[in-house]
Structure 1
Amino acid sequence: MREFPLEKAFQWFEPGPVVLVSTAHRGKANIMTMSWHMVVEFSPQIACVVSPGNHTFAALRATRECVISIPGADLARTVVDIGNCSGREVDKFAAFGLTALPASSVRAPLIAECLAGLECRVADTRLVGKYSLFVLDGVKAWTNPRRKNRKTFHAVGDGTFVVDGRALNLKKRMTKWPEFI
């Protein structure tokens, strides 16, 4: 083993794909790039960190709802560019050629070009003040059957990303929990 810089240790734990978070507030839809999230419960419940400096923070706090969308690896450059500008100044749907679709349970839009979307409502804000951590309950899930390539991409934390690779099917080795099969 070799010592590794503590401030970069998060790179080893980055849990899931880079996602897009859409909100709608004061008549304006916005999109934010996010990689700091985790599944908390199978229901599904998601915890995510949204910095108070982000335009999305105020919208999420005010409306208490959003959509988490999963972009494919083919959208990686667009997703990074979305993260490099602010919704305060830029209409990100127009600027990046993305299509906002109406969600059924929240005012925030789905993103047509993504692989999947999860409509969410804020379930808990007790850790927002201290950690900027929102806990979200998924209320409706969507998938895009037209997207044949289902590869996602994951942040390594230093401006590099990895794309999903070969899948391992170990279902026969898993404990059978009927509610999750």
Structure 2
Amino acid sequence: MRSLKLSKAFTLIEPGPVVLVTTHDGKQNNIMTLSWTMVMDFTPRFAITTGPWNYSFRALKKTRECVIAIPTVDMLDKVIGIGTCSGADTDKFTRFGLTPVPGRAVKAPLIKECLANIECRVIDIVKKHDIVVLEAVAAYVDTSRKEKRTVHAVGDGTFIVDGRTLDRRKLMSSKLPAGV
């Protein structure tokens, strides 16, 4: 093995998939791209890493709600575009040809073109580490969508695309929650 700079260690375990997080500040919708997400448990609780450097953070902090939308590989260029411009001066839904769909539990919109959408409420903001803890209140999946592969950011401008699904449900049955 050869040494790797510690500043690049995160590229070895960068989580995924890359997601789009929508917010609504009372006047307008916005979308931000995030690759730092984490499933916290089966309840369902999630964590994202973001802070004041993202335009959407103000709306997220104020409204304490958002939608995690899960794009697929065919949307990668739009996902990158969304992450490289600001909602302060760009209507990202219009610019990237995405369709906002009203949520049932939160004011932030779902994204019609995404494989799945999870409506969430903020239950904690851990300022020291810029971690926003979310609790899902509704979830949707587009089972008719042909493309289902998600993408995972490596952190250096490259991405990994999901591949084969390996079924090990029998081996893991004692650790899986009921109904999964």
TM-score (norm 1): 0.95
Maintained 8 Å contact 1:50/1:56: no
| Deviation for aligned residue 1:26 | 2.8
* 2:178 partner SS: helix
- Identity value in percent: 51
RMSD: 1.1
| Deviation for aligned residue 1:166 | 1.5
Maintained 8 Å contact 1:67/1:120: yes
Distance 1:97 1:146 in 2: 20
Superposed CA offset, 1:45-69 (max 9, x none): 1111113111111110000000000
Distance 1:178 1:92 in 2: 37
Distance 1:114 1:139 in 2: 18
Mind listing any 5+ residue stretches in structure 2 that lack a counterpart? Answer: none
TM-score (norm 2): 0.96
Aligned pairs, number: 179
Name the structure 2 match of 1:113.
Answer: 113
The 5-angstrom pairing of residues 65-104 of structure 1 reads 65-104=65-104
| Deviation for aligned residue 1:178 | 4.9
Question: Is residue 2:178 matched to residue 1:179?
Answer: yes
Mind listing any 5+ residue stretches in structure 1 that lack a counterpart? Answer: none
The 5-angstrom pairing of residues 1-181 of structure 1 reads 1-125=1-125, 127-128=126-127, 130-176=128-174, 177-181=176-180
Distance 2:179 2:157 in 1: 34
Maintained 8 Å contact 2:15/2:153: no
* 2:46 partner SS: strand
Maintained 8 Å contact 1:60/1:66: yes
Structure 1 segments of 4 or more deviating over 2 A? 175-178
* Aligned AA (1:20): L
